[in-house]
């Protein structure tokens, strides 16, 4: 089986870090840099190779074929301009398959794909959403967003003063998130809210939740 370009880039990162004279120091610096994303003291201590770090970042949806930011960060810290260029070239040429029908990728011009991505969300909002799904989406966010609730609020374009007001009003994170989501639902465009919400989760480094919400959208309820 031919390895994907993404897999080749990961392998090159592992090899180049291993060849570095200060690879242990570099690994420790990277672990600290991604400590909040690792989000587990036990896992943090268990990471002793760059390959293990990359694997954890993939599990947390911080690293993927569609998001090679961590690979770029490592290449920068290695001062490896050639590898950084390869990663940037891959990023520029890669067409994200997420949310897009394979037929679209094979038969439509690249320029139309991003538009099609949003149209897919719009179709969900118009024809697929019902009250049970919307309630499940909110319930999932309240349970899972955790400490990222402020980031989510900012990326949903909630005013900072309103976020501060919510923070003062409630003691626990679940109540803060619930109020935030209610505020978003009340002001969101009825045709685009799901797209906007998923984009905000991606920007808040919670792509794992984006995938969970997609699964909810496909459920029979």
Pull the structure tokens for residue 111.
Answer: 């320029």
Residue 180 CB neighbour total at 10 angstroms = 24
pLDDT in tens, 186-205: 988 877 888 889 989 988 88
Position 220 scores a pLDDT of 66
Task: Write out residues in the chain with pLDDT < 50, as ranges.
Answer: 1, 95-118, 120-128
Position 113 scores a pLDDT of 37
Q: List every span in the chain annotated with CATH 1.10.533.10.
A: 102-217
Pull the structure tokens for residue 143.
Answer: 């349970």
Position 193 scores a pLDDT of 87
Q: How far apart are CA 189 and CA 193, in angstroms?
A: 5
Q: Which CATH class is domain 102-217?
A: mainly alpha
Q: How far apart are CA 81 and CA 135, in angstroms?
A: 48
Position 92 scores a pLDDT of 75
Position 1 scores a pLDDT of 38
Q: For domain 5-93, say whether CATH 1.10.3470 is its number.
A: no
Position 50 scores a pLDDT of 93
Position 218 scores a pLDDT of 76
pTM score: 0.47
């Amino acid at each position: 089986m031919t390895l994907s370009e993404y897999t080749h880039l990961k392998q090159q990162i592992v090899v180049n870090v291993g060849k570095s004279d200060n690879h242990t120091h570099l690994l420790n610096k990277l672990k600290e840099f991604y400590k909040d994303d690792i989000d587990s003291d036990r896992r943090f201590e268990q990471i002793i190779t760059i390959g293990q770090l990359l694997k954890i970042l993939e599990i947390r949806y911080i690293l993927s074929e569609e998001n090679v930011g961590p690979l770029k960060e490592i290449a920068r810290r290695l001062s490896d301009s050639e590898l950084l260029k390869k990663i940037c070239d891959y990023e520029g040429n890669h067409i994200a398959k997420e949310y897009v029908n394979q037929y679209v990728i094979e038969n439509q011009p690249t320029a139309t794909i991003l538009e099609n991505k949003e149209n897919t969300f719009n179709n969900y909002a118009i024809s697929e959403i019902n009250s049970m799904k919307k309630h499940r989406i909110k319930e999932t966010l309240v349970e899972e967003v955790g400490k990222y609730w402020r980031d989510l609020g900012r990326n949903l374009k909630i005013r900072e003063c309103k976020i501060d007001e919510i923070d003062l009003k409630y003691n626990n994170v679940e109540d803060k998130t619930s109020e935030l989501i209610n505020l978003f639902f009340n002001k969101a465009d009825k045709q685009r809210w799901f797209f906007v919400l998923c984009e905000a989760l991606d920007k808040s480094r919670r792509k794992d939740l984006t995938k969970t919400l997609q699964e909810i959208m496909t459920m029979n309820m």
